[in-house]
Amino acid sequence: MSKTADLIEQVDQYSAHHYHPLPIVIERAEGCWVHDVEGGKFMDMLSAYSALNHGHRHPRILEAMKKQLDKVTLTSRAFHNDQIGPFSEQLAKATGLGMSLPMNSGAEAVETALKLARKWGHVVKGIPKNTGEIIVCDGNFHGRTISIISFSTEPKYKGAFGPFTPGFKSIPYGDSDALAQAITPETAAFLVEPIQGEGGVIVPPEGYMKRVRELCDKHNVLLIADEIQTGLGRTGKMFCCEYDDVKPDILIMGKALGGGVYPISAISSEPELMLLFGKGEHGSTFGGNPLGCAVATEALRIIEDEGLVARSYETGEIFRARLSEMASPLIKEIRGRGLLIGVEIKEEYGPARPFCEALMSHQILCKETHESVLRFAPPLGFSADELDWAMERIEKVLKNAP
């Protein structure tokens, strides 16, 4: 057997079968390029679900990490460290929100936001204890903890994992009238993705987030924006909510915050909300560790220094235009903003997975989502030459019906 087959067999024998990866084994990477164990070279157009906005192994991020590794990596929050302050200040500048609370994974950040919203609902809004409700959207994806899958509408994510956590109500995505009808005196918050990435790169109607902000203000409901996948330049704005000039009450971040080298997530809000967390009410051993904070601080600086937000917007506009110009009979719809792009395949041409496999044979790595959608999300520094290289291969796979 090949080295690839041997390594995949080893994974199949000793690791849980909870993913369905493409049959490639990557051993090194740089920028938007990866190399497999057979010596093949491929373009990464998934970016680890937007965790690699900076590209693989950005030299400044690696340098920040190496420098911190030589000093201290973990203190826990039992003591102060010299990195969490600079990180928190940098994040406040990026978000326009005064305080943050760092965790490790996106799901942890979502759970943190839910806890804060529930406490606010009871302590500030006056919702009777243990009755507060949080509204979510059909087709959402916010993680895979028990609480989070409790309000998923995807049967595959819920499976046989019940019983589920109560206190959530789901409404159609992109429908502000449905939100208006769903709000009750017990509603503490509305949790929403400005674009549903895992849901199929679903872009809501124009002005949706602005209308949502108005409804939340009118009814004294917190607006929680999950920008784990859409944030930090991915959609052509620093945060996708900016397309509607909206500032959420709680902003959730993760993925690219760690620069593709270290897991770190955070929520941001104004102090009057964040300070509702009392001492000992919430935390994490690794949350806010100096290594993660040093990496994230540099990751935020690079986005600004290298103009990655503008580059994402401009390249994304060209990318979607060129996909449209193909006039492929296979394509039902092209959706997205910036460099978060979904290409939906017409039902009669089958699921998207075989197209991902065909693209891999042409050195393009992407992944299907919701069966029929190809998701293209290259690193934000994606160049014009790299786009030309990619389009030549994408056209070979998608331009003509089989």
Pick the catalytic residue from 36, 44, 226, 249: 226
Strand 168-171, strand 133-137: pairing? parallel
First to last CA, the chain: 31
Pick the catalytic residue from 36, 42, 44, 141: 141
Spatial separation of the C-alpha atoms in residues 55 and 350, rounded to whole Å: 31
CA nearest 295: which of 4, 137, 71?
71
CA nearest 146: which of 162, 168, 160?
162
Contact, 234 vs 380, CB < 8 A?
A: yes
The torsion region of residue 28 among left (phi > 0), alpha (psi -120 to 50) and beta comes to beta
Residue 286 bears catalytic tag: no
Contacts of 143 (CB under 8 A, 6+ apart): 105, 106, 107, 110, 111, 149
Residue 66 bears catalytic tag: no
Spatial separation of the C-alpha atoms in residues 115 and 282, rounded to whole Å: 9
CA nearest 104: which of 77, 86, 70, 137?
77
Residue 273, token pair as written in the block: 């909300």
Amino acid identity, residue 390? A
DSSP string, 111-124: HHHHHHHHHHHHHT
Contact, 53 vs 256, CB < 8 A?
A: yes
Spatial separation of the C-alpha atoms in residues 255 and 51, rounded to whole Å: 4
Amino acid identity, residue 35? H
Cα angle 203-141-371, degrees, rounded to a multiple of 5: 75
Phi, psi of 243 (to 5 degrees): -60, -30
Residue 141 bears catalytic tag: yes
Phi, psi of 306 (to 5 degrees): -95, 5
Contacts of 355 (CB under 8 A, 6+ apart): 330, 345, 368, 374, 397, 398
Pick the catalytic residue from 119, 237, 255, 367: 255
Q: Which spans in 247-383 are helix H?
A: 271-274, 290-305, 308-325, 353-361
Active-site positions?
Answer: 141, 226, 255
